[in-house]
Amino acid sequence: MTERVVPRLNHVNSAVVLAAIKVLMCAMEDIKNEETIKALCKKMAPPLVTLLTTKEPEVQYVALRNINLIVQRRPSILAHEMRVFFIKYNDPIYVKMEKLEIMIMLASEKNVEQVLNELKEAAGEVDIDFVRKAVRAIGRCAIKMEKAAERCVQVLLELIQTKVDHVVQEAIVVIKDIFRKYPNRYESIIATLCANLDALDEPEARASMIWIIGHYAEKIENAAELLESFLDSFLDETTQVQLQILTSIVKLFLKKPKDTQEMVSRVLNLASQESDNPDLRDRGYLYWRLLSTDPEAAKAVVLGQQPLISGASNGMDDNLLDELIANISTLSSVYHKPPESFVKKFAKNTARRESVRREEEEDPREQEFENRNTSIIDIEEKSPPKQAIPVSGVNLIDDLDFLATPAPTAVRETVPKEVVLSADKGNGLQISAAFVRRDAQIILELGLQNQSSAAVNGLAMQFNKNSFGLAPTAVQLASPFILPGMSGEATVPITITQNQLNPTGPPSNIIQMAIKAGFQGQDKVMYFQMVIPLHVLFIENGRLDRDEYLATWKGIQEEHFRDINIGLGVTLETIKRKFEANRLFFIAPRAAPPQEFLYFSARLVTNQVLLLELSLGPAGCKACAKTRNVELVALFLQSVQQLLG
């Protein structure tokens, strides 16, 4: 069977290649001859590498998700192909993330130097989430390979010297795990870590540094002074940091009881008497009773030897992996979920769409459109031919008059901002905002008006999970400070990340946001939400060729109509120009007097295709929208109305 399947590895169709690999992966489970397995693995490597050399990032991503499963089961297949997973500067973030994960799986003592150099390079990227994952990957290499641990620590120290805040903080989190894996081996770097204590403002990094100070308190001369500095802001810290401060000060007391009695009494009182958090109170009471009744038992509990961190990578359960490998080249292998976890929901949606379709068939308004001669599917039968050509000889494609002219250059328009956070809810900071798309990048433009009595600086943003996976990067302020009574501007580049996708509920263009601002050293967090117009999420490669457009249109049964109000003075050329500028691409016109029909296509950042037919005539303008996700139709038509209004 494998001999018959192997030639299909050279097939030009990527789906055939992946299907052949699936057969071979399943067959190898029943093959006992190791030489045969090695030969098959050797033959599977070149087609997998070829899939990664394609220009389409979406194909690369699907290939990488499948390779992730293959490498978990048989890493030897691509053990010598590490270089194809190196990050390219123009790779989309979702491709970079997958390559990073596979590099860690393939890392070994033979290629670890190459991997570390690549990870160090990746730590200099602009995407903060990607940088964090790259730094964390260095720590995974250290934990996975003991002989490479020292080199990994050196790379982490070099990254700390860059003084980039998020890099330094992630490096300290990683080093704490390395200390757990290799106790009493790298204490010489503690002084370097302590020197960066003031730069730590993220809870996980602060908690990691506090753990290091408490764990090695006997080797840090000013450990008491360092830990005491956290007590002044104890009640303002996150629960994660509070718990670590409590434990570290108790460790310090057990190691140096003479000098720290007042400090431990203070932290126990804060934890058990002044905190509302039940976990913190319970731990405070536990330590208090241990210390007051049996100090030796307290030492055994608090200073006891901790279990070492496992060196295993973030692999999945063997049973799940078996099921996913049996589903290579399907959605299951892309989602990394068994089919039953999402097929049931898909079936429900299909049933609901069928119900909606039946209701629309019974809708009397359908009769209004039966004779409109606008369905692109029925053009062959209903559209009058041009130049008196017999109807039987009409060519569907020629009748559509597809234009070969290039798309007009997009016009950069000024998008008005709306107030999304008033001064009374923003601690004196009023924020107006607008989503725009500049040079193939989604941007959130902010207008800031400081009505407080303190200077504002240090803005940071977070989005809640949303239907399109939008996530903010660093806020770029036009000036470092916004003085009282002054206004300022800021821009926030937006990335698309799978971690931000909200898979539940119908698609929504409402984005929930949180913004943190420093008011003369005091950080305050404000919450608000705003609507992102769907056309901002249209990407630049949304133009379909004529065959693809027709096939897609015919493949979608549901049609959704809406009357569209057109602004004064809007002509056909104005519509086309405005749509093209917003990546709603013109495909073809069709004349059927007294009406004129225009066809457009767009593609979302989630790669969903949207089709639009505009019919203009004496009775006004009607829009007919088609998309495979029926729940997107309302948002799409709303966006069309915004562009034409």
Q: What is the pLDDT of residue 350?
A: 52
Q: If the chain, 645 residues long, is cut into consecutive pieces of 10 residues, what is the mean pLDDT of each piece?
A: 88 89 89 87 88 85 91 86 86 90 88 89 87 90 88 90 88 89 83 82 89 87 86 87 92 85 87 86 88 83 77 69 88 87 63 57 41 39 38 34 36 74 90 90 91 85 90 82 84 88 85 88 87 90 87 82 70 84 88 85 90 83 86 87 81
CA gap 170, 200 in Å, rounded? 10
Residue 93 vs residues 48, 55, 61, 206, 534: alpha-carbon distances, Å: 21, 15, 10, 27, 21
End-to-end CA distance of the chain: 62
376-405+538-644 fold: TATA-Binding Protein (3.30.310)
Tell me: the pLDDT tens digits for 48-82? 888 888 888 888 899 999 999 998 888 888 888 88
| Model pTM score | 0.51
CB 586 within 8 A of CB 576: yes
Q: What is the pLDDT of residue 89?
A: 83
Count of CB atoms situated within 10 Å of the CB of 330: 16
DSSP string for 414-429: PPPPEEEE-TTTTTTE
Tell me: the pLDDT tens digits for 17-37? 999 999 999 988 888 888 888
Pick the CATH number of 418-532 from 3.40.50.2300, 3.90.1300.10, 2.60.40.1150, 3.40.50.620: 2.60.40.1150
Q: 3-state DSSP call for residue 321?
A: helix
Q: What is the pLDDT of residue 366?
A: 40
**Run of H or E residues at 636:** helix 633-644
Q: Is 24 left (phi over 0), alpha (psi -120 to 50) or beta?
A: alpha
Q: Is the peptide bond preceding residue 503 cis, with omega within 30 degrees of 0?
A: no
Tell me, what amino acid is at 536?
A: V
Count of CB atoms situated within 10 Å of the CB of 358: 10
Alpha helices in 303-454 (DSSP H): 318-325, 331-335, 340-362, 366-370, 379-382, 396-399
